[in-house]
Amino acid sequence: MAKTSMVNREKKREKLVKQHADKRVALKKIISSETASYEEKMDASVKLQKLPRDSSPSRQRNRCELSGRPRGVYRKFGLGRNMLRKATMNGDVPGLRKASW
């Protein structure tokens, strides 16, 4: 099990990303615009930098839904490798079974 504080921190980041998504998109549009003046671009850049650091989507980490493990997480299932194996053995994941040859 991951530390509860780390899982909670990740939830906080998700909330901040959703909260500031529209502002970030608008500011990035101004920065990349060819028609905007240099001053407007610099102003937008400063505003973007003043947004909370955790509101950036690139700071989010994939975590296992059950255990909170940060590494070895399969995107398709949202589970870490350990929990995916357990769920597969219990038959909880349809269409997935242990390989044998």
Per-residue pLDDT tens digits for 9-24: 999 999 999 999 999 9
Q: Answer yes or no: is pLDDT of 101 > 90.
A: no
Q: Answer yes or no: is pLDDT of 1 > 90.
A: no
pLDDT of residue 6: 93
Token readout for 82 is: 């350990």
| φ/ψ of residue 40, rounded to 5 | -60, -40
Q: Answer yes or no: is pLDDT of 100 > 90.
A: no
Convert the pLDDT of each residue in 27-74 to its tens digit.
999 999 999 999 999 999 999 999 999 999 999 999 999 999 999 999
Residue located via tokens 């909370």: 52
DSSP letter at 53? G
Helical axes 38-50 vs 4-32, angle rounded to 10°: 170
| φ/ψ of residue 80, rounded to 5 | -75, 165
